[in-house]
Structure 1
Amino acid sequence: MTESKTLILGCAGHSLTREEVRFYRGECPWGFILFARNISEPEQIRDLVASMRDCVGREDAPVFIDQEGGRVQRLRPPLAPNYPPAAVIGEIYSRDREAGLRAAWLHGRMHAFDLARYGISADCLPVLDVPVEGASDVIGQRAYGSDPDMVARLGRASAEGLMAGGLLPVMKHIPGHGRASSDTHFELPTVHEAFDELRRHDFAPFRALNDLPAAMTAHVVFSAIDPKGPATTSGKVVEEVIRGEIGFDGLLISDDISMKALSGDFGSKAAAILAAGVDIVLHCNGVIEEMTAAASKARALEGEALRRAGRALSVTAHSGEGSEEELRAEFTEYFAAVA
């Protein structure tokens, strides 16, 4: 079996092309990611996931998706129900803390039921960003609320719901995207807040959940830490803040390098990300020329990165617990009042 490389890659369509099959077999990415463009009906999703794993010769190769609820939800009816965004869970929590925590756990557990049936093993959730007034609405209702403690509590409950169903949760966007003044899909934002306030507010949910197995970086510049490089490519942010101040020792995955926030060619982006201490490079849009360039700078998954990846995969070995029918009925009751 070919040694895995420090990559998570997407694909272009509903099935792998011959060129994609050859490329994945040659490069052996550690994992894959699906988007709406890759999804049509149940057997097609299962076949696509199986073919991805077949390319790399690993049945446990993780397959990721962004399934948050609200506007960020790749699987839609009839493949999966439409779910409320995180902000709705925050509203429940504001009225009744125990109910909010249970609703967050159920929210994660429902996603796990939905995704596992298609062979998808990782969900890029929970969102632990804490928005502030005047920030871009790219996070908006994707956040549980504006209180770091509430965000941490609900984020943990959601992650535990996913893990109860054998899904790997990926918290995002570490060390915090809530102050970003622009959408990183299109440009690179700079946050000018003082370090002490970032520590108190933005970093707090990630510090509280620093024991989770995986996290995704923020394409955001924090001028108080590194005025030149976004967190994704900043060794100073990775080592001093993410690994140091926050204390996160799990698998660190870049946000999508095909987003416009990062400058340079794709090989340079991948090299800078890995040099900064990020474990895995994520490329999502399925453009094979871009993936080829990124793969040229990727390396074998080994050492600490391999250890962290192994710990992350151990979560997906869990087969799931609880009656779907009963838990889904309970979930419906929690959200009926705010539907």
Structure 2
Amino acid sequence: GVLPVVKHMPGHGRAGVDSHKSLPVVDTPRADLERIDFAPFRALRQMPLGMTAHVVYTALDPGNPATTSAAIIRDIVRGTIGFDGLLMSDDLSMQALNGTLGERASASLAAGCDLALHCNGRMAEMEEVAAEVPVLSGKPLARSKAALARLTEPSAPVDTDSAYVKFSEWLATA
């Protein structure tokens, strides 16, 4: 009864800082990114939902993180990787991005994200973001409907007590 979200496109593994706190900059050549970093995303390109990375890739767009880079979203995420699912920004309230929350929302949508996410629950911030985003329509709406159409009912009810025990066992072995 849940859908997977492939994240953080086009890759976050080379980021040397936490994008919750500052903007990572990756100086890896494009050929290496395409051969190594993009491979898992190409393999998962048919998934219904994806999320961008608040990371600057100097070989792709030295001036913008992927979330606000039309070149990266168009040429890499939609092009090289071939992802055509619903693409959402990472949380706009993270410190990696510049500008007001409204400017961040507008920039992510202008770059090609279908949805602009704000996740910290602060009402004034949510209102600022909401004031800048349009009603879902066109290709983003079609992608949203296609993703939701992939939802299925669970084959059996979830036993949360049993799941918690199993989860605790996994954590104990990690």
TM-score, normalising length: structure 1: 0.47
What is the correspondence of 1:1-339 to structure 2 with a 5 Å cutoff?
166-316=1-151, 318-322=152-156, 335=170, 338=173
Deviation of residue 337 (structure 1)?
9.1
1:214-241 CA-to-partner distances (Å, cap 9, x unmatched) read 0111000000010000000000000000
| 1:89 alignment partner in structure 2 | none
Task: Flag structure 1 segments of 5+ consecutive residues without an equivalent.
Answer: 1-165
In structure 2, list runs of 5 or more residues that go unmatched.
Answer: none
Q: Residue 297 of structure 1: CA displacement?
A: 1.2
Q: Secondary structure at the match of 1:281?
A: coil
**Aligned residues, how many?**
169
Q: How far apart, in 1, do the equivalents of 2:140 and 2:170 lie?
A: 39
List, as ranges, runs of 4+ consecutive aligned residues in structure 1 with deviation greater than 3 Å. Answer: 322-325, 334-339
Letter in 1 for 2:144: A
C-alpha distance in structure 1 between counterparts of 2:170 and 2:74, whole Å: 40
Deviation at residue 335 of structure 1 after TM alignment? 4.7
Using the TM superposition, give the Cα deviation of residue 315 of structure 1 relative to its aligned residue in structure 2, in angstroms.
2.5
Q: Report the Cα distance in structure 2 between the residues aligned to 1:336 and 1:196, rounded to whole angstroms.
A: 37
Greater RCO (Cα-Cα under 8 Å, separation 6 or more): 2
**Deviation at residue 323 of structure 1 after TM alignment:** 7.2
- RMSD (Å) for aligned C-alpha atoms: 2.0
Structure 2 residue identity aligned to 1:172:
K
Q: Tell me how far 1:195 sits from its aligned partner.
A: 0.4
**Equivalent position SS for 2:36:** helix
Alpha-carbon distance in structure 1 between the residues aligned to 2:170 and 2:101: 43
CA distance in 2, matches of 1:198, 1:191: 10
Paired with 1:260 and 1:324, the residues of 2 have a C-alpha distance of 37
**CA–CA separation in structure 1 for the residues paired with 2:170 and 2:129:** 42
SS at 2:17 equivalent: coil
Corresponding letter in the other structure for 1:308? R
Q: Using the alignment, how far apart are the partners of 2:157 and 2:18 within structure 1?
A: 39
Shift of 1:338: 3.3
TM-score, normalized by length of structure 2? 0.90
Cα distance between partner residues in 1 of 2:157 and 2:13: 36
1:167·1:315 contact (CA, 8 Å) conserved in 2? no
SS of equivalent residue, structure 2 residue 173: coil
- CA distance in structure 1 between the partners assigned to 2:69 and 2:103 by the alignment: 14
Task: Evaluate the alpha carbon distance shift between residue 185 and residue 335 of structure 1 in structure 2; reply closer, same or farther with a 3 A threshold.
Answer: closer
SS at match of 1:293: helix
Taking the aligned partners of 1:230 and 1:337, their CA distance within structure 2 comes to: 37
Which amino acid in the other structure matches residue 186 of structure 1? K
